[in-house]
Amino acid sequence: MCIYIHIHICRRDAACVYIGLFIFSFVHFYRNEREAINHIVEKVTNLLDKTDLFVVDNPVGVKSRVHDTIQLLNIQQSNDVLLLGIWGMGGIGKTTIAKAIYNEISHNFRCRSFLANIRETWEHTDGKVSLQEQLLLDILKKTTTKIPNIESGKNTIKDMLCDKRVLLVLDDVDSLDQLNALCGSRKWFGSGTRIIIIKIIPNDEVQRKLKISYDGLNDDTEKEIFLDIACFFIRMDRNDVTQILNGCGLFADIGISVLVERSLVTVDDKNTLGMHDLLRDMGREIIREKSPKDPEERSRLWFHEDVLNVLFEKTVSTSYTYFMI
């Protein structure tokens, strides 16, 4: 059986879309002709109902990551309900990747929803239930589902979607409560469901995670060297820094090597010390939090205004304060 379907769609903006769809099949693939027709109708309906999400032109590095992620989702081979998390700091491209993945695989799902800006919507008065209602609207195509409160919404989602194969993308999630309200359990959805979550890590959470590596350093000397580099010696020659720190009795030859092994400090081909901005900020925050309001009580000062204020207006209370001048 060979079927050619030509569809002409006129939209309000006068744009015309032509979809030429060849479906080659054989009757013996199906139990009967009705099953074959239903299969064709479902495929065509999915194509007509598919609206791609906007993704910037030629985004750098997205295509390879989308490909790798789709491989992890294992769409065709597994009927399990799979959850995939994409997490990181804001602005690094999580939403762009999630949109590109959605555009690439959404035609495989009759039931699908992309919930954007969850963190922002969640803060509104009716934001929590509106997200639940939007999820049901996207999947069920019904506008009559009204949810009185968030707990009732959880039960409604579970009851209405437990037998449906869903593609669900939750964009800009930053709390567990949001996940519990929108996809509390795998049992809420039918087999073959794929859920992608695009989680933002708040700055304070990043600091806590990075501090684990700092706390794991073997002795105080290594910690002191790390803090000195974070405050004063980024982009300086390793040999020069080693001499300075050795003069302070810190045994920098070994200490810097340990920091490089722990990936807390880098050394480039020009023998220049480097450090990721997040690690630098974490090191400086360790010092600042010891005395948030009184710079003169801190062990190191790197911000020029703090240095000037301490030198010209106040008396430093400890002889161990270092300045970046």
Helix (H) or strand (E) holding 300: strand 300-301
Q: What is the pLDDT of residue 68?
A: 82
pTM comes to 0.54
- Average pLDDT rounded to a whole number, residues 271-294: 88
Centre a 10 Å sphere on the Cβ of residue 103 and count the other Cβ atoms it contains: 17
Q: What is the pLDDT of residue 169?
A: 92
CATH architecture for the domain at 204-289: Orthogonal Bundle (1.10)
Q: What is the pLDDT of residue 74?
A: 78
Where are the domains positioned within the chain?
1-48, 52-198, 204-289
Interval 69-91: pLDDT, tens: 788 887 767 788 888 888 766 66
User: Is the predicted pLDDT of residue 166 greater than 80, yes or no?
Assistant: yes
Tokens 């803060």 belong to 123
Interval 234-255: pLDDT, tens: 999 999 999 999 998 888 999 9
Interval 1-40: pLDDT, tens: 444 334 344 433 443 444 444 444 444 455 566 666 666 6
Contact between 69 and 97 (Cβ < 8 Å): yes
Interval 173-182: pLDDT, tens: 878 889 899 9
How far apart CA 186 and CA 235 sit, in angstroms, is 49
- Average pLDDT rounded to a whole number, residues 147-152: 92
Task: Indicate the class that CATH gives domain 52-198.
Answer: alpha beta
Q: What is the pLDDT of residue 20?
A: 45
DSSP lists the bridge partners of residue 113 as: 168
Interval 290-300: pLDDT, tens: 888 888 888 88
Greatest distance between any 2 Cα atoms in the chain: 92
Interval 86-140: pLDDT, tens: 876 666 678 888 888 888 888 888 899 999 889 888 888 888 999 999 999 989 8
How far apart CA 86 and CA 93 sit, in angstroms, is 10
Interval 203-234: pLDDT, tens: 677 778 888 889 998 889 999 999 999 999 99
How far apart CA 318 and CA 298 sit, in angstroms, is 9
Q: What is the pLDDT of residue 45?
A: 58
